[in-house]
A and B are shown apart, each in its own frame.
Chain A
Amino acid sequence: MKDIFTQSWRVLLAFSLTILMLAATGCKNETLQGEENAVLTHAPAVPAAITRNYPTKVIVELETTEVIRRLADGVAYTFWTFGGEVPGKFIRVRQGDQVEFHLNNHPDSKMPHNIDLHAVTGPGGGAASSFTAPGKGTVFSFEALNPGLFVYHCATAPVGMHIANGMYGLILVEPKEGLPPVDKEFYVMQSEFYTQGAYGEAGLQPFDMSKALLETPDYVVFNGSVGSTTGDKALTANVGDRIRLFVGNGGPNLVSSFHVIGEIFDLVHTEGGGVANTNVQTTLVPAGGSAMVEFTVDVPGTFIIVDHSIFRAFNKGALAMLTVTGDENAQIYSGLKEEHVYLPEGGGIQEIDVTSANVPPAQNMAERIEAGSRIFAANCAACHQPSGQGIAGVFPPLAGSDFLMADAARAIGVVVNGLSEEIEVNGVKYNGVMPGVRLSDEDVANVLTFVRNSWGNEGGETVPADVAKVKSSH
């Protein structure tokens, strides 16, 4: 009995040593060296590229918190977050790294949370091992087997609500050979919010479950709020820069038609994976998915980043900006060469359906400006910009606008009926089409009082009676 045992043991040992040697040469296995703490960043920043050419043990610390923050001007929301902001902090590791993940749930959280990283191979993507009560921490580890750009999110019941409240972010697993160097990298993540009040309705807005089930969000935004990445918070680059955007979509429901107006993506790693498509205008980013896009900015200007399911951009907030500075290049883009009137056939002007909030009428000019600022944020700022500066050549400025200030009654008419003829503002010609906005007389008066008395404008009060007069004469 013992002899047989010993003999079979020897055979097995010899056999396994052979296998081990084969394995060692066949896998080209890299050995782990050292240990480091991952540096995580809030959007739109991205951690520095990895310069290591070997795998290491990476310690990631991420805290879940529940916080009230701005969703849009005058609108607040209770966000559940990975790292205090939406989207969650960006994690960057290298293929082959051993990631020791520490998930800590703040003691003031009401909810238990966990994390499912799509970069994890294992039950629940880590969710099964990271279920964490408030005031507790959990640790699990995984090997980053596959390179790519992956979404992570909370998967605690009710999972849809944890995601709808903001619990998602991106983890990049760089391939062993690294990513090609670029000049600028940015983190942009789209998601949608379902609130009890309509878009722009002021106050702390609770999550609306029935809208979430119907998949009809009030807000579709980049990086967690309306205007998170516009105006002075726009992404910035210089002419000639090679840019890489790490694009994620937290959902919870919608698929994004990701597009940068005035740019063509030279390279798109579709769905964040290994295949690189070239010369792409718009790329689909699934809910719970990603894309890596690269392009070089050749000319200066403001490039608008949108979900090209376009009503989301102009009516729900899915709009960010990339501001490029540097020298013009007329060969690539001439700028405006010629202007003429052009009206499309049957030029019916759209009307935006805006239902007025049940707010008591303004009693004085100060109240009118206060109320008007919210109406402006909800209906006008997407084009005319929160600063009222507009976008040169596309959307006319309101700040210091001679066209606006010259004629209060005409301004009322523009808001109520829209505008489709060429106008000249401060010496620059504009021939875009502005849709009429269906607002109550009170709201029109408020928003006009706001724009005619902001950013240095001094235009006096517009009252609802003025609006009624213009409407009746139309």
Chain B
Amino acid sequence: MLLISGGVYKPLYDNGGDVEGVALAPFYMDENPVTVGDFLEFVTANPTWRKSVISPLFSEESYLLLWKDDLNPGSLGRKEPVTHVSWFAAKAFAKWKGNRLPTIAEWEYVGSAGLRSPDGKTEMDFQKNLLALTNQPKPNPLPDVGGSPPNYWGIRDMHGLLWEWVSDFNSALITGESRADASLERKLYCGSGVVGASDFTDYAAFMRYAFRASVTAAYSGSNLGFRTVRSL
């Protein structure tokens, strides 16, 4: 794991407030997404998370879809990022490792780093390249982890390879009806219900937020994996 020194994350959806941002304490983050090999170790040590055993409460049927059986990932490369894992399974893996899932703020903070600075937007064409990466169709099979150049923090594969679970994926009140999301009726929600974006040009971030809003905790899909973090 690599050290991410603390900082401030400015949320995409700043809820209409002139928010200074979310202050983050320093933490460690996995350099790469969790791999098929890592997850094999986890299910070997934790039988309740094997695909034939897992409770339907904690995952859809597509859990570890491409695995031949409980302890056999079949043709999947051991260095490929693991996918078809639910939020519950990702969380249990992190706990087993003594870690946890990153929060949205932590993930986005690290993900907003460029190659040379903690704020990628100061680098030429950063957003454009990010959008192009995010917009690429899913490669099949997925390449091994570690393929992207390290960002400022030394973290790889945050964009373009796959989406990643975060601990509070179910926080943003986005309906998926993107035009209504700009003006959610206040009466429906406590606090300030108005959800407004702080940066209308960060399309790649809109896509991540839309994806998180589209899933439930038992969801397990071919484009969704995770990495873990640990507090200091």
Interface residue ranges, A against B (CB under 8 Å): 66-68, 78, 107-112, 114, 116, 123-124, 127-128, 130-136, 155-159, 161, 196, 206-207, 209-210, 213
Cβ A206 vs Cβ B180 within 8 A: no
Beyond A131-B214, A134-B222, A135-B221, whether A155 also contacts B179 by CB under 8 A is yes
Cβ A110 vs Cβ B138 within 8 A: yes
Min CB distance B183 to A, Å, is 12
Min CB distance B178 to A, Å, is 4
**Residue on A with the closest CB to B209?**
A157
Cβ A128 vs Cβ B180 within 8 A: yes
Cβ B207 vs Cβ A131 within 8 A: no
Cβ A111 vs Cβ B222 within 8 A: no
B177 at the interface (CB under 8 A from A): yes
Q: A135: which of B128, B211, B222 is its contact (CB, 8 Å)?
A: B222
Beyond A128-B175, A155-B178, whether A161 also contacts B203 by CB under 8 A is yes
Which residues of B have CB within 8 Å of A112? 176, 210-211, 213-215
Cβ B62 vs Cβ A135 within 8 A: yes
CA distance A133 to B206 in the complex (A): 15
Please list the 8 inter-chain residue pairs (A to B) with the smallest Cβ-Cβ separation, ordered nearest first: A131-B176, A112-B214, A157-B178, A124-B177, A133-B214, A158-B206, A206-B132, A127-B177
Cβ B176 vs Cβ A114 within 8 A: yes
Cβ A134 vs Cβ B223 within 8 A: yes
Which residues of A have CB within 8 Å of B135? 78, 206-207
Which residues of B have CB within 8 Å of A159? 178-179
**Residue on A with the closest CB to B214?**
A112
CA distance A131 to B137 in the complex (A): 20
Cβ A134 vs Cβ B213 within 8 A: no
Q: A207: which of B131, B210, B215 is its contact (CB, 8 Å)?
A: B131
Residues facing A in B132-178 (CB within 8 A) are 132, 134-138, 140, 163, 174-178
Sample 23 A-B pairs with CB under 8 A, ordered by A number: A67-B137, A68-B137, A107-B221, A108-B137, A108-B222, A110-B223, A111-B210, A116-B177, A128-B176, A131-B175, A131-B176, A131-B213, A133-B215, A133-B219, A134-B223, A136-B219, A155-B178, A156-B178, A157-B207, A157-B210, A159-B178, A206-B132, A209-B201
* Count class of interface residues, chain B: 20 to 34
Which residues of B have CB within 8 Å of A207? 131-132, 135
Known A114-B176, A133-B221, A207-B135; further 5 A-B contacts with Cβ < 8 A = A66-B137, A108-B222, A111-B211, A136-B214, A161-B203
Cβ B132 vs Cβ A128 within 8 A: no
B181 at the interface (CB under 8 A from A): yes
CA distance A344 to B193 in the complex (A): 64
Which residues of B have CB within 8 Å of A132? 214
Cβ A131 vs Cβ B215 within 8 A: no
1/0 per residue, CB under 8 A from A, across B204-232: the answer is 00110111011100010111000000000
Cβ B210 vs Cβ A78 within 8 A: no
Residues facing A in B101-148 (CB within 8 A) are 127-128, 131-132, 134-138, 140
Which residues of A have CB within 8 Å of B203? 158, 161, 209
Interface residue ranges, B against A (CB under 8 Å): 62, 127-128, 131-132, 134-138, 140, 163, 174-181, 201, 203, 206-207, 209-211, 213-215, 219, 221-223
Cβ B136 vs Cβ A78 within 8 A: yes
Which residues of A have CB within 8 Å of B134? 110
**Residue on A with the closest CB to B203?**
A158
**Residue on A with the closest CB to B211?**
A112
**Residue on A with the closest CB to B224?**
A134
Cβ A124 vs Cβ B206 within 8 A: no
Min CB distance A242 to B, Å, is 39
Beyond A157-B209, A209-B128, whether A123 also contacts B177 by CB under 8 A is yes
Cβ A157 vs Cβ B201 within 8 A: no
Cβ B222 vs Cβ A114 within 8 A: no
Min CB distance B150 to A, Å, is 23
Beyond A110-B138, A111-B207, A157-B210, whether A131 also contacts B62 by CB under 8 A is no
**Residue on B with the closest CB to A210?**
B128
Min CB distance A165 to B, Å, is 8
Cβ A108 vs Cβ B176 within 8 A: no
Min CB distance B169 to A, Å, is 11
Min CB distance A470 to B, Å, is 40
Which residues of B have CB within 8 Å of A210? 128
Which residues of A have CB within 8 Å of B206? 157-158
Which residues of B have CB within 8 Å of A128? 175-177, 180
Min CB distance A251 to B, Å, is 14
